[in-house]
Chains A and B, each alone.
Chain A
Amino acid sequence: MIKQLHIPLGSQHAALLEPLRLDFSTENERIVSVRSDMGYVHRGVEHACMNRFDFKKVPFVVARVCGLCAITHSTAAVLATEQIVECMVSERAQWLRMLALEFDRIHSHMLCLAHVAESSGYEALFMHTMMERERVMEAQEILSGNRVQFDYATLGGVTRDMDSQCAQALLAKVGALKSVLSGLRDRFEANWSTQMRFKGVGAITLEEAYRLGTVGPIARAAGVRTDIRIESSHLPYRALGFEPIVALEGDLYARNRLRLEEIAQSIELIERILEGLPEGAHLSKVRGRPKGEAMARIEAPRGELFYYVRGNGGAIFERLRIRTPTYANLKAFEAIFLGQEYSSIPAILASLDPCMSCTAK
């Protein structure tokens, strides 16, 4: 006998990390339809940046859009603004920005993995992942002076330079992380019970991923070769020999594996950056006021982050538009949930790594 059930999840729920509301209809345990609502934490950041804060302060304001990828927001805002004011950014500053972005990616991916473990009932792995993540947070504090809010990228460069002592400390931290990464991979990939929990769950096909305009790890795990690090030349990722990683299955297991591989890749990128860091000034003067319009895209941990700025010669932007990765993936979320068991929802949702405070800005 089929029993129809209507189950709302959120906007506040113990298994939810973010204020998102999902309305599920299920037939027995299987989900047949879903509707999402996500505007719970709208704070009017765009409005504030267009009315209150002058353009030099905007990178610090937009960093507060999201606590997890603060640096990606400020870097994207800075990259967009620098196209419409007079300034020369040194190669060194660009490399340091990439360094901060890669650290951010590692800690965000580890947080996501930890939550996947927790939501699928593997509490010990959650603790373990969070413990190792702490090394990255410490590295971020060494780099920028703060664990969460970097305030690192600023117009004209980065806020502080790096000396060899700092570079050594960072290398030691990523070295420590590297040595435990294989253990983590073992638990996520080779563990018998996690395999049962993850394989074939929450999958999205390649066609769907294309059709729904999916970005970031979700798209890459389904086989879409998309990564803004190769799609835009704002940051010199090419000099690092970066190539995106792509998986094929598109399920929860593939997403975990992809994130773990991307962590290893980011560690490698960090080592290459620290090795080949060009000399130069870390910060240069910015002249003039924003006039004209520009857009910037960068690869945030969750996918493509887009900024559009438009200035009319005044100190305050005429328009600032943010499009965040979760925003682009929301349609794919709904497609992924269809046909799944209700009991898998928390784990799937965690593996999609939603960031609602970004999305509702």
Chain B
Amino acid sequence: MRRTEITPDRLLGEVRAFYDPTRWRFLTVNATDTGAELLIDWIFVPIGRDEEPVILSSCVAYQAPLPSLAALIPASALGEAEMCDLLGVAFEGAKPGLFLEPDAPRAPLLKTPRERDDD
């Protein structure tokens, strides 16, 4: 897996620069808890060609706000909502609740699950 390191504020610009929907498909956004921070990958795959996917990635602190790609790529909203739900990633505009019920554990895929702040 070959990654291109970026900073979150450069994401939209980078994507705009190469993303052509007839040549690339946005696969998904994925988050991984590495133990110290979150590794976020935005994965793009070529359509109809067997080539390397483009992976833009960025290591961020647990609750760092991240930009959303939804305005550019509508399909990304779902992936962002899922990551927000299961790992508590703070994507712009994403709310938890896609999969988990209101009384479920928060961000269960984190290594140290977040305490519920029952307000």
Please list the residues of chain A having a beta carbon within 8 angstroms of any beta carbon in chain B. 39, 42, 44, 46-47, 50, 210-213, 215, 224-227, 230-233, 244, 293-295, 297, 304, 306, 308, 310, 318-319, 321, 323, 327-328, 330-331, 360
Contact = CB atoms under 8 A, between A and B. Distances in A.
B78 interface: yes
A210 B21 contact: yes
B28 A331 contact: no
Contacts of A226: 25, 47-48
B50 A230 contact: yes
Contacts of A327: 28, 78
A177 to B, nearest CB: 29
Contacts of A227: 48
Interface in B6-62: 21-22, 25-28, 30, 32-33, 43, 45-50, 53
B: contact size bracket: 20 to 34
Q: Name A's interface SS.
A: mixed
B109 A47 contact: yes
Contact of B1 (A39, A231, A295): A295
6 contacts: A47-B109, A213-B26, A226-B48, A231-B50, A293-B1, A321-B30
A211 B21 contact: yes
B22 A210 contact: yes
B50 A308 contact: no
B99 A39 contact: yes
Interface string B45-84: 1111110010000000000000000000111011100000
A294 to B, nearest CB: 7
B93 interface: no
A47 B28 CA distance: 18
A273 B98 CA distance: 41
Contact of B45 (A47, A297, A321): A297
Contacts of B22: 210
B90 interface: no
Ranked nearest first, the 10 interchain pairs of A and B with the lowest CB-CB distance are A42-B99, A213-B75, A39-B99, A210-B21, A319-B32, A323-B28, A225-B48, A331-B75, A331-B74, A226-B47
Given A213-B73, A231-B49, A294 B1 contact: yes
A42 B79 CA distance: 15
A212 B75 contact: yes
A244 B47 CA distance: 12
Contacts of B49: 231
A210 to B, nearest CB: 4
A225 B109 CA distance: 35
B37 to A, nearest CB: 14
A310 B1 CA distance: 11
Given A310-B32, A331-B75, 18 more contacts: A46-B86, A47-B108, A47-B109, A50-B109, A213-B21, A213-B73, A213-B74, A225-B48, A231-B46, A232-B50, A244-B48, A295-B1, A306-B27, A318-B32, A319-B32, A319-B109, A323-B30, A331-B74
Contacts of A310: 32
Contact of B78 (A44, A230, A330): A330
Contacts of B75: 212-213, 328, 330-331
Contacts of A306: 27-28, 43
Contact of B33 (A211, A230, A319): A319
A225 B47 contact: yes
A212 B32 contact: no
A306 B30 CA distance: 11
A77 to B, nearest CB: 15
Interface string B79-115: 1000000100000000001111000000011000000
A244 B32 CA distance: 34
